[in-house]
C-alpha cells in the first residue's frame, strides 16, 4: 500500500466496508469524514464489492481502495504499514461474518487481516437481519468485542431491506460519524 501523497497533518481512519446491503451508506460516511478533514483508507470485502464498486470510494476518499491481500503496490505488507498510521478502524456496515472474524481472530481477507494488525481505536456499526442480530452467537461475539474495548454503534430499530422490522438497521450515518470523530479526539 503506497502512502505517497498522504497528508501527515490529517488523522487517518481505515473504513472497512462489508457485504451488508447497507454498504452503499459507507459512501456517505466516507464523504463526511473527508469533509471533516480526515484521510480515509477504504478496505472492502469481496461481498461488499458485489453491492458497491471500489471506484465510488476511490473517488470520495481520493485514495486507492484495498480489495485484496494479494494486490499490494508496495513491497511491504500493506496492512501493517497502514496500521502504523491509522488512528481508528471503523467497520460500517459490520456483518455478522466480520463480527465473528474480529471476535475470534480470523484473518482470511484484507479487512480481517488488517483488523488483527490495527492497534488503535475500533468502531463497528453492525447491520443485518434482526433475527441474525438476535442470534446468541452474534451477541456473544459483540460482547467479546466490547470487552476488548471495541465501540459498537447501533444497530438501530426499523425496517430492513429483507422486509422485516426490528433491531438490525445500520445506525444513522450521523451517529457513526460522531463516534469516529470522538474516537479521533
Catalytic residues: 162
Residue 16 CA to its chain's centroid (Å): 3
Assigned C-alpha cell, 110: 484484507
3-state DSSP assignment of residue 43: strand
Residue 136 CA to its chain's centroid (Å): 22
Question: Which letter, b or e, does each residue of 20-54 get, where b requires 16 or more Cβ atoms within 10 Å of its Cβ?
Answer: bbbbebbbebbbbbbeeebbbbbbbbebbbebbeb
Amino acid at each position: 500500500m503506497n502512502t505517497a501523497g498522504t497528508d501527515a497533518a490529517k488523522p487517518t481512519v481505515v473504513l472497512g466496508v462489508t457485504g451488508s446491503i447497507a454498504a452503499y451508506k459507507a459512501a456517505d460516511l466516507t464523504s463526511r469524514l473527508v469533509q471533516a478533514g480526515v484521510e480515509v483508507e477504504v478496505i472492502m470485502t469481496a461481498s461488499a464489492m458485489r453491492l458497491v464498486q471500489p471506484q465510488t470510494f476511490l473517488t470520495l476518499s481520493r485514495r486507492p481502495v484495498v480489495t485484496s491481500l494479494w494486490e499490494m503496490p508496495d513491497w511491504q505488507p500493506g496492512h501493517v504499514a497502514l496500521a502504523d498510521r491509522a488512528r481508528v478502524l471503523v467497520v460500517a456496515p459490520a456483518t455478522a461474518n466480520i463480527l465473528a472474524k474480529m471476535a475470534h481472530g480470523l484473518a482470511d481477507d484484507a479487512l480481517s487481516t488488517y483488523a488483527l494488525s490495527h492497534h488503535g481505536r475500533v468502531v463497528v456499526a453492525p447491520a443485518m437481519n434482526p433475527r441474525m442480530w438476535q442470534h446468541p452467537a452474534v451477541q456473544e461475539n459483540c460482547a467479546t468485542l466490547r470487552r476488548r474495548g471495541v465501540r459498537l454503534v447501533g444497530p438501530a430499530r426499523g425496517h430492513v431491506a429483507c422486509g422485516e422490522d426490528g433491531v438490525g438497521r445500520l445506525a444513522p450515518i450521523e451517529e457513526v460519524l460522531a463516534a469516529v470523530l470522538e474516537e479521533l479526539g
